[in-house]
DNA sequence: CGAATTTGACCTGCGC
DNA sequence: GCGCAGGTCAAATTCG
């Protein structure tokens, strides 16, 4: 880890009394940022920015019983859970990847002075979720985390 | 009018 | 057992 932008070892503005061991504030464990030269699949529009792609493999508490609702759709893909995190340098967090996203809920993370936005695919049959968050160190960078795989073409 | 968006409240999981 | 963190849904409102 040499040129990893996301890395906090001090956190002077906020001291939560964290003992030690600081991989990442959350499950997002970026092994390493891969500089994608050309990605014709994602972020087709305005891809003039350096896009860093990092595959995150998290197999903890996913596709399990959804809380709150005793009865759920139950339509979860036990096989196909894919979590991919993209770090892109952009001003707007609303990157158009060619799909329709419906924003649902906003939360403020403690490790970031910026709120986290949750998006969900509005296309029926496509239960892909997208998490957008700004970098805590470089607000010029946006971290987009995709969850799931699209089951629908880009557009009808 | 319809759909999408917003904010808040609520629930669950884990930690100590 | 309680607290904290994170995540989701619901209702209300607004925009197109």
Name the pTM for this structure.
0.66
Q: Is the CB of A101 under 7 A from strand B?
A: yes
- Pick the closest to residue A135 from A144, A143, A127, A145 (CA basis): A143
Task: Read off the pLDDT of residues A58-90 as tens digits, 9 standing for 90 and up.
Answer: 443 334 444 444 433 443 444 446 677 777 777
Mean pLDDT score, A112-136? 86
Q: Tens of pLDDT along A17-65?
A: 333 333 333 334 444 555 554 444 454 444 455 566 555 544 433 344 4
* Cβ of A129 less than 7 A from strand C: yes
DSSP A118-156: EEEE-STT---EEEEEE-SS-TTEEEEEEES---S-S--
**Residue A69 Cβ < 7 Å to strand B:** no
Higher pLDDT, A130 or A77: A130
Distance A122 CA to B5 C1' (A): 13
pLDDT at A137: 77
The pLDDT score that the predictor gives to residue A119 is 93
Secondary element (H or E) of residue A4: none
What pLDDT score does A140 carry?
79
In tens, the pLDDT along A91-119 reads: 777 777 778 899 999 998 887 788 899 99
CB under 8 Å to A118, separation ≥6 — which residues?
A103, A104, A105, A106, A107, A129, A130, A131, A132
Rounded to the nearest 10 degrees, how much is the dihedral formed by the CA atoms of A146, A147, A151, A154? Answer: -10
């Amino acid at each position: 880890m040499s040129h990893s932008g996301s890395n906090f070892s001090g956190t002077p503005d906020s001291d939560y009394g964290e003992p030690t061991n600081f991989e990442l504030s959350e499950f997002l464990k970026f092994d390493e940022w891969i500089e994608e030269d050309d990605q014709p699949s994602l972020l087709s529009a305005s891809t003039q920015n350096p896009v860093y792609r990092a595959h995150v493999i998290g197999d903890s508490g996913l596709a399990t019983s959804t809380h709150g609702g005793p009865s759920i759709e139950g339509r979860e893909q036990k096989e196909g859970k894919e979590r991919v995190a993209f770090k892109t340098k952009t001003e707007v967090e609303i990157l158009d990847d060619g799909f329709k996203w419906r924003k649902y809920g906003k939360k403020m993370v403690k490790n970031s002075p910026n709120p986290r936005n949750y998006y969900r695919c509005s296309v029926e049959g496509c239960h892909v979720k997208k998490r957008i968050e700004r970098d805590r160190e470089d607000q010029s960078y946006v971290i987009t985390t995709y969850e799931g795989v699209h089951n629908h073409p880009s557009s009808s």
